[in-house]
Amino acid sequence: MTKILGISGSLRKASFNTGLMRAAAENLPGGVEFDTATLHGIPLYDGDVEKESGIPDAVTALKQKVMAADGVILFTPEYNNSIPGVFKNAIDWMSRPSADIAKVFRGRPFALAGSSPGNFGTILSQNAWLPVMRTLGAELWSGKRLMLPKADTLFDEAGTLTDTDARDRLAAFVKAFADFAGAEGAR
């Protein structure tokens, strides 16, 4: 059984990317288990807080989910042509203490997916993630990209993915990544 974790990089209830993550969990190929996570409860990173209080419980819980997964899909919005601050903040927290980077990220397969109302999906956000993931030593899967533009035409008001073609593309993306993550885990 290949265990995939999806993390939504948006806090909004009807988020396109949370909806994309939910849709991924609803249409799984055989042999794949899919867990989900959000960034709710993760405070802004502050080195003084880390020094005085340690790693927040919400960060520890997210790190444990990542470490239990064979692969992780970051469902990333694109804010102002780049990475959402709240998502980058969570990754920064998960890299603390620095001794945990190897346990959480190094060699672990990660993939990028996203949807946005613009014409280019989340290409700029996904590109901005590349140096971050490389720095952390993640095994960034480059087999496919999933960028769904014009999200307002693909999702309903509750954030549910309603477009059949987009659902099919998502299912193929998840299957291909799960195959990759499962093969990496077998090594």
CA dist., res. 110 & res. 151, Å (int): 23
Tally of structural domains, the chain? 1
Which two tokens mark 82?
């780049």
pLDDT by residue (tens digit) across 142-170? 888 899 999 999 999 999 999 999 999 99
Residues 50 and 92: their CA atoms lie apart, in Å, by 12
What phi-psi label fits residue 179: left (phi over 0), alpha (psi between -120 and 50 degrees) or beta? alpha
* Full domain range(s) for residue 28: 2-186
- Mean pLDDT to the nearest integer, 54-82: 97
Q: How far apart are CA 176 and CA 7, in angstroms?
A: 18
Q: Are 137 and 107 in contact (CB under 8 A)?
A: yes
Residue 184 has pLDDT above 80, yes or no: no
Q: Name the phi and psi angles at 48, rounded to 5.
A: -70, -40
pLDDT in the model for residue 142: 86
- Half-sphere exposure at residue 15, Cβ-oriented, CA atoms within 13 angstroms: 21
Distances (CA, A) of 90 to 26, 49, 63, 187: 25, 14, 10, 29
In SS3 terms, 5-66 reads as EEEECCCCCCCHHHHHHHHHHHCCCCCEEEEEECCCCCCCCCHHHHHHHCCCHHHHHHHHHH
Q: How far apart are the first and last CA of the chain?
A: 15
pTM, two decimal places: 0.96
Question: What letter would DSSP give residue 151?
Answer: G
Specify the pLDDT at position 185. Answer: 64
When pLDDT is averaged across residues 68-75 and rounded to a whole number, the result is 98
Average pLDDT over residues 50-74: 98
Residue 186: pLDDT over 70:
no
Q: Is the per-residue pLDDT at 84 higher than 70? A: yes
* CA-to-CA separations, 170 to 40, 126, 149, in angstroms, rounded: 24, 16, 13
How do residues 87-114 score in pLDDT, each as one tens digit? 999 999 999 999 999 999 999 999 999 9
CATH number at residue 113: 3.40.50.360
